Structure 1
Amino acid sequence: MTTSTRSQTLTERAAALVGLLRRNAAKTEDDRRVAEENIQALAEAGLFRITVPARFGGHQASVRTLLEVSAELGRGCGSTAWNTTLINVCAWLISLYPERTQREVFATDPGARACAVLTPGGTSRPASGGHVITGRWPFASSCLHAQWALLGTPVTGASGEPLDRGLALVPMEELTIEDTWHTAGMRGTGSHTLVAEEVYIPAHRILSVTRALQGEYPTEFTDESLYRSAFVPVLASILAAPQLGLARAGLELVMTSLAKGRAISHTFYEQAREASSTQMQIAEAAQLIDTAALHLMRAADDIDNWAVRGLPMPLLDRARVRMDTATAVRRSREALDILLNVHGAGSFAEANPLQRIWRDLETAGRHAMTNPAIAGELYGRALLGIEEQITPLI
């Protein structure tokens, strides 16, 4: 199967699930976890194996394919798309570890799921052949459906001196979950807090984030281009895809409403679609969504092309990916804001799915990795050749 055929097949599978995800969206939000029917359908469609190595029965697809699938799922349910995306990026992260670690996760179950919190938390101390970690890690999206967790942790020496920044791979059965995710939007992601108490992590299950930021991964399979992809560009870009899908869902919902002949209150327009103001706003919203998609897919293609060439992605290109990602999120939010104006106050009725789409997009859009102001500053510094940056996450 060619790369383009695989991408089309996976995207078609995602599209086929949109109706199911929409039917379960309210349940997912009310239960504050993705509906099990969704999880089962996604697993059966192979959509948790998009980034799993082909060696283990995964699809080993491109970053662009992952983003296209994620955006498609976002048309059905923001929380489901978000969790599916993060489970896949966690599979990608695990595939950067040594083969021994990869086999522990995927050898018996190519569809094994993991969650992640990259922000360094807790404490660590060296132990025989590894480290012992203790701490709390909030915002662990998809933890309710995961068998493994990736936890950012400091790596320290015998005297407590900092040696590295690591990403520890931990079986979920060795952690506890604190119910802390009570939010206005993205309620179904179940992004609770993970707690570790004196959990031992063998050295082969600790990835050096410091080296990963430089494109140095311990996987022995250096010929697999997907696992040469630039670290932060992958982690940033995947966050925008579900949000693009949410914006598209909003456009579809409003267009459907207009097609049914809804009027504009307090005007002579018996059909809102006949008003030039409606036509102009719909055009602008659609164009903003297209702009978001173009920026996001440019970022994906940049990531994939540098990885295929086997070359490290230059700083300027990595900074542009951060900017493209933030732009995709911003334009998606702007488009939905216009669509809410077209649809009117009825958008916020509890029975109207548009208000849930809005809450999900406004919540997801505030993720720190897609902050437009920060992205603009770091990209501007890169364009101007200013060596001192504001974050290592580029």
Structure 2
Amino acid sequence: MTDKVLDRVEELGERLAATAAESEALGRLSDDSVALLREAGVMRLLQPAEFGGYEAHPRVFAETVMAVAQRCGSSGWVCGVGGVHPWEMGLMDRRLQQEVWGEDPDTWIASPYAAQGIATPVDGGYRLSGRWSFSSGTDHCDWIFLGAMLGDAEGRPAEPRTTLHVVLPRSDYQILDDTWDVVGLCGTGSKDILVEDAFVPGYRTVDAQEMSEGARAAVVGREETLYRLPFWAMFPLGITAAVIGIAEGALAVHLAYQRDRTTSTGVRITEDPYTLSAISEAAAEIAASRTQLVTGIERLYDLIEAGEDVSFADRAVTRRNQVRCAWRAVAAVDEIFARSGGNAVRRSNPVQRFWRDAHTGLQHAIHTSGLIYHATALTSMGIEPRPRQRIMI
């Protein structure tokens, strides 16, 4: 069934591509785009089977996100981010899963995970307040994951610092319109979220560290390999898959455009060895990015499937390679765009949208290389990174 979702995306490809301009103009995914994604079942790929999901191999999930992003960067981005949320929801309390999916297995879940709020303990749970940025696809979601710092009695971050992932229904938070005015990934509608003193029952929360290290599955009795993967392997997977898919989309429209193009000096592109060489180099870099991203998650999956532990070193190498995949793919898009001629900047030419979307996707914190490269290099030398250097690995 999981491969059929990818097949369905390919069948719907032209229709998905046709939604991109409207989504960009709206500042959120168009209703047509959402309907097509629901029809294909993309958001249910990592969802537990008991709640109508497909429990797909993460490789299939990544490949499907890429296929969507090739047609519409914003749609691919929302699938890459939002498509991981059902995976984490599968590791939450079963009561919460029933609340979210009991009546509608097609219910979508938003985020962000940045700890931009304070969760103060009270009887039975927490009181939550804060404001969060970058909630991709949020207009189409009925629940949300939010990152929050555990608070003390005065509502300040408690010591030692502890981060929670908390889950709220749509009735408990506000989507702030007019907070997504950007140059790329415009159609993702990644708006701000406001929460004012909402009560969050304890069973709708999870310790972020427990989720990060892949320890949560044992706590909730999930034995499937998929749910024993670490969070910082799964969440980056969807985001980088979207960026690589966007790069593949840029390459596809570039090739179609260059096929019949003649420069202002009268040279046909198909007879210009310099441009053709650059196209091939860019194509090879994008293909390498796809292969390395998919191979990385397959390796972790296979380790767990074989009954072996995923070490910090395993996680660090996977994150290092995933970050590099994104940077390599976007650099290739720059090479493509630089050789697309003056008409590439016209809004009627989709290559400019792919170019803007690719660079915007690279801005996500998950693609920040410094700490990841630093920690991975130390680990490779047998030196234990300090706690601050282990963030997001």
Could you tell me how far apart the structure 2 residues matched to 1:209 and 1:220 are? 15
Residue of structure 1 aligned with 2:165, choices 164, 167, 189: 167
Does the Cα contact within 8 Å between 2:65 and 2:79 map onto a contact in 1?
yes
Instruction: Show the counterpart of 1:287.
Output: 284
Does the Cα contact within 8 Å between 1:230 and 1:307 map onto a contact in 2?
no
The answer to whether residue 211 in structure 2 is matched with residue 212 in structure 1 is yes
Q: Within 5 A, what are the aligned runs for 1:1-394? A: 6-158=1-153, 161-162=158-159, 164-179=162-177, 180-217=179-216, 220-259=220-259, 261-266=260-265, 268-269=266-267, 271-389=268-386, 390-394=389-393
C-alpha displacement at 1:335, in angstroms? 1.3
Amino acid at match of 1:133: L
TM-score, normalised via structure 1 length? 0.94
C-alpha displacement at 1:216, in angstroms? 1.8
Q: What secondary structure sits across from 2:171 in the alignment? A: helix
Deviation per CA, 1:199-242, whole angstroms, max 9, x where unpaired? Answer: 00111100111222232216533212211111111111221111
C-alpha displacement at 1:84, in angstroms? 1.5
Deviation per CA, 1:282-320, whole angstroms, max 9, x where unpaired? Answer: 110110111111111112212322332344311111111
RMSD: 1.6
Q: What secondary structure sits across from 2:115 in the alignment? A: coil
Instruction: Show the counterpart of 1:3.
Output: none
Higher mean Cα deviation, 212-221 or 75-84? Answer: 212-221
Could you tell me how far apart the structure 2 residues matched to 1:235 and 1:381 are? 23
Q: 1:152 to 1:21 in 2, by over 3 A?
A: same
Could you tell me how far apart the structure 2 residues matched to 1:85 and 1:17 are? 18
Amino acid at match of 1:84: C
Q: What secondary structure sits across from 1:138 in the alignment? A: strand
Deviation per CA, 1:313-339, whole angstroms, max 9, x where unpaired? Answer: 111111111111112111211111111
C-alpha displacement at 1:165, in angstroms? 1.4
Amino acid at match of 1:150: F
Amino acid at match of 1:241: A
Deviation per CA, 1:121-144, whole angstroms, max 9, x where unpaired? Answer: 222221221001011011111111
Structure 2: runs of 5 or more not aligned: none
User: What is the number of equivalent residue pairs in this alignment?
Assistant: 386
Amino acid at match of 2:283: A
Amino acid at match of 1:55: E
Does the Cα contact within 8 Å between 1:49 and 1:88 map onto a contact in 2?
yes
C-alpha displacement at 1:188, in angstroms? 0.8
Does the Cα contact within 8 Å between 1:330 and 1:372 map onto a contact in 2?
no
Amino acid at match of 1:242: A
Q: What secondary structure sits across from 2:334 in the alignment? A: helix
Amino acid at match of 1:382: T
C-alpha displacement at 1:21, in angstroms? 1.8
C-alpha displacement at 1:104, in angstroms? 1.6
Structure 1: runs of 5 or more not aligned: 1-5
Q: What secondary structure sits across from 1:117 in the alignment? A: coil
Could you tell me how far apart the structure 2 residues matched to 1:301 and 1:233 are? 11
Q: Between the two proteins, what is the percent identity of the paired residues?
A: 27
C-alpha displacement at 1:158, in angstroms? 4.2
Higher mean Cα deviation, 379-388 or 136-145? Answer: 379-388
Deviation per CA, 1:179-214, whole angstroms, max 9, x where unpaired? Answer: 211110011111111111110011110011122223
Could you tell me how far apart the structure 2 residues matched to 1:243 and 1:315 are? 25
Could you tell me how far apart the structure 2 residues matched to 1:40 and 1:310 are? 39
